[in-house]
């Protein structure tokens, strides 16, 4: 079954982009390919000149993606979740602790960082 066929999209720098379509149109599959969660069976995709098939580390550092489901894992702490996302986004390992410390401080979330996400409330 072919999920995505002849898709061509150009998104100007700085734009926020959403993909709308009916169920089964290939939206989720498209984003899974663009984020490296699914391999492309053909064609090419580039983000700011980086080939998604061969330069995923660079691509992930440039791409922001908000999936249609809750992207937090209840069994992890906030700090563990941030560490995982930093690695997925291509943040250099030596910088991860510093980046997370800065984010937690800026968002005033230090006291919640080592609690399980399952215990978080929306009012945090």
> Where are the chain's structural domains?
1-67, 78-119
Q: For residue 123, is pLDDT > 50?
A: no
Q: Which residues of 59-86 are buried (b: 16+ CB within 10 A; e: fewer)?
A: bbeebeeeeeeeeeeeeebbbbbbbeeb
Q: Is the pLDDT of residue 124 over 60?
A: no
Rounded to two decimals, what is the model's pTM?
A: 0.53
Q: So what's the pLDDT on residue 70?
A: 65
> Is it the case that residue 67 has pLDDT exceeding 70?
no
CA-to-CA distance for 92 and 87, rounded, in angstroms?
A: 7
Which residue in 23, 19, 25 sits closest to 1, CA to CA? 25
């Amino acid at each position: 079954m072919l999920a995505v066929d002849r898709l061509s999209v150009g998104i100007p720098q700085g734009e926020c982009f959403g993909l709308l379509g009916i169920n089964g149109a290939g939206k989720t599959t498209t984003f899974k390919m663009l984020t490296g969660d699914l391999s492309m069976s053909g064609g090419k995709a580039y983000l700011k000149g980086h080939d998604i098939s061969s330069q995923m580390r660079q691509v992930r550092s440039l791409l922001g993606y908000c999936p249609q489901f809750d992207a937090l894992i209840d069994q992890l702490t906030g700090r563990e979740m941030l560490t995982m996302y930093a690695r997925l986004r291509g943040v250099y390992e030596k910088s991860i602790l510093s980046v997370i410390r800065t984010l937690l401080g800026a968002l005033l979330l230090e006291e919640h960082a080592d609690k399980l996400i399952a215990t978080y409330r929306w009012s945090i």
